Chains A and B, each alone.
Chain A
Amino acid sequence: MFRSNVLVCGGTGCSSSNSEQIINRLKEELEAKGLEKEINVVRTGCFGLCALGPVMVVYPEGAFYSMVTPDDIPEIVEEHLLKGRIVKRLLYQETVSDDDTIHSLTDTPFYKKQVRIALRHCGVINPEIIEEYIALDGYAALGKVLTEMTPEQVIQTIKDSGLRGRGGGGFPTGVKWGLAAQNHADQKYVCCNADEGDPGAFMDRSVLEGDPHSVLEAMAIAGYAIGASQGYIYIRAEYPIAVQRLKIAIKQARELGLLGKDIFGSGFDFDIELRLGAGAFVCGEETSLLASIEGRRGEPKPRPPYPAVKGLFGKPTILNNVETYANIAPIILKGADWFRSIGTERSKGTKVFALGGKIKHTGLVEVPMGTTLREIVEEIGGGVSDGGTFKAAQTGGPSGGCIPARFLDVEIDYDNLIEIGSMMGSGGLIVMDQTTCMVDIAKFFLNFTVDESCGKCTACRVGTKRLLEILEKITSGNGEKGDIERLEELSYYIKENSLCALGQTAPNPVLSTLQYFRDEYVAHVEEHRCPAGACKDLTRYTIITDTCRGCTLCARNCPVGAISGAVKEPHLIDQSKCIKCGVCMEKCKFDAILKG
């Protein structure tokens, strides 16, 4: 029995900011004080509040320390763990009340509105110890399924729950399982898509790092439901911590007989193998992913036949993503009705979002479907960072779109997002402020899709390249009349003539920014001006004559002598000489220089 548990986040964000050193230092200090038998140090998965990393929490007090450095550890050990005095200066300020008492992390704005189903164990258990998972009802769902339920009942439960695929498309999971179950074959496969390729999305990674067993358990349940004995997890090689923890988890599950032959004495066999991806965004498409597991180029195939009929190695296959699997065990244990009670009419349950970009609390949040964007950005996310103003939120990665401020109050679910020209995608949510140029962002995503197009369909391979060229032309100040119309025409052409979702959605970033920020495109094309001041070729520094006092400071500091003007007279910048270094703006004491 330990008198205190110290949970240190070992997720990617915190590991990158040295949580490993913190754990080592903690252990050293505890040993030096002879406390190692009284105090337990646990390395957990992601807490979600990555912006404040590295983070740790001490129970039973629930004291949440943020931005801890290894040098803070002696103080925490000496004061808190030895003498019982919480080190207030290191506490996350939102957990400290006005009267100086501390309250639970779950009462802070960041956590209050969250409902954690998929992330239920992240930041709570040590993902490398299977017993901790089992202690929290781990593998109880698998036991229940194998001993009390028929495969048909399992599929019916998942169907009734209304769970839809969390990878982006939103296809009903139970229906998918049902289709694969109907097809008879000597071998079937259960696959897990852990190839989280959307830039700005890291929810699957956090589940795998923080709670790998929940995915293994769900895959075994799926195997029982459709009649498969082999599973594959296709995971990005870029996620070394997740790969490592999955390997440990699979080994432990095999040792306890939770994977392998005759699980729970039921006669059901199921085993899982890892396959490492090698970096190809198109492998998020199911037919590409299966081709990649087979060791080939990850190029998509026309559907039908669907994988449920003819998938991996030509056998019936189901493929779900990590977050979808993370929802399965709770649904089995708590029932379909419980899950249905959360969310909106057509989107049940919760969704994990990775908050990033210009937002205060970057990190991972899980909210019920139907939560508004405003609640996520302003309440949970703490608002726009650095005093900026909200301009747009980008969801759905390179397949999605930008949502402008006027839709902040739309309830987020699969269907509403599509209606406003974006999509759920895997759940990346990037906040942009007034300094982000929407044409530049469209260009950024097109750069990505041009790189990642597999090259099979001409419309996608050549079309995205042409789109990018037009965008480059516009952002470099060479846009001409008709360019915007050309962008639109080409976008629709690419959407209609591509085989897989990558090509069909590649123009979305262009179309959605055109829909809501058309004036920015017009400013680039017709006035050769970038209103956000982000496109370097179009940035122009001008002096506001009414505000300029003629102090000559800017003229003296300009490295190329582009500024002229008499003392105490308004100055002028010669645009042909200006190299846009911004020194004049930095030096001006009267805010008389305008960028845009």
Chain B
Amino acid sequence: MQKRISNLAFRGTEEQQKKLFAVIDQRKGEQGAIMPILQEAQEIYGYLPIEVQTMVAERLGVSLEEVFGVSTFYSQFSLTPKGKYDISVCLGTACYVKGAAAILDKITEMIGIQPEECSEDGLFSLTACRCIGACGLAPVLTINEEVYGRVTADDIPGILAKYR
């Protein structure tokens, strides 16, 4: 899958950098450390801009190419920032059969962004995600940690209104 890469300016703080370096130093020398480090880096920064990947590569002593190869391979790693509220619409089979595509369309229409994008005001980002395993509640969407099950396109305005 082609990854969208953000062109927004990087706004990392020193505190974040300190945390990241602590994570790297702790795992240095461990076999297969790149993935766990990138996962924690994403926790710290919210996404993985090239600046963060460069820091990981340099401090871990591996090439940036290797880090970039991993970060672009796995769908969990986001190269674009997330909004304050990250909306994930499940497009697993069970949800798809029950009309998840219409829900995604409705959200795109209402907030004017495509999947993998973040709205300009930084309020919402949208993800078309893989099965989250809540097939019994299909179709499902999540906004940050909150799960909405058995959703219809008509429910979307009401749900989004809660976050505006």
Contact = CB atoms under 8 A, between A and B. Distances in A.
Interface of A: 12-13, 16-17, 50-51, 53, 196-202, 205, 237-239, 275-281, 292-298, 313, 354, 356-358, 362-363, 394, 397, 428, 430, 432, 436, 441, 444-445, 450-452, 454
Contacts of A430: 93-94, 97
Nearest to B42: A278
B35 A276 contact: yes
- Among all A-B residue pairs, the 3 with the closest Cβ atoms: A50-B136, A295-B32, A356-B94
Interface string B127-149: 00111111111101000000101
B74 interface: yes
Contact of A280 (B32, B75, B131, B132): B75
Contact of A275 (B35, B135, B147): B35
Given A275-B32, A279-B74, 12 more contacts: A13-B134, A16-B134, A50-B134, A53-B137, A200-B94, A237-B39, A238-B76, A238-B132, A239-B133, A276-B39, A313-B31, A444-B93
A199 B39 CA distance: 23
A292 B147 contact: no
Contacts of B132: 12, 238
B123 interface: no
B93 A16 contact: no
Given A363-B136, A451-B1, A280 B73 contact: yes
B94 A279 contact: no
B98 A357 contact: yes
Nearest to B93: A200
Contacts of B77: 278
B70 interface: yes
Interface string B80-92: 0000000000011
Contacts of A298: 73-74
B35 A454 contact: no
Interface of B: 1, 31-36, 38-39, 66, 69-70, 73-77, 91-94, 96-98, 129-138, 140, 147, 149
A237 B70 CA distance: 15
B136 A356 contact: yes
A13 B130 contact: no
A278 B35 contact: yes
B41 to A, nearest CB: 12
A353 to B, nearest CB: 11
Contacts of A313: 31
Contacts of A293: 32
Contacts of B135: 13, 50, 200, 202, 354, 356, 362
5 contacts: A53-B137, A201-B131, A279-B130, A280-B74, A357-B97
Given A238-B133, A280-B73, A428-B93, A16 B149 contact: yes
A389 B140 CA distance: 24
Contacts of A281: 130
Output the residue of A17, A197, A277 with the most chain B CB within 10 A: A17
A500 B138 CA distance: 31
Contacts of B138: 356-357, 362
Nearest to B147: A16
A454 B73 contact: yes
Nearest to A291: B32
Contacts of B35: 275-276, 278, 292, 295
Contact of A198 (B131, B137, B149): B131
A51 B32 contact: no
A358 B136 contact: no
A296 B140 CA distance: 32
Contacts of B36: 275-276, 295
Contact of B133 (A202, A358, A397, A441): A202
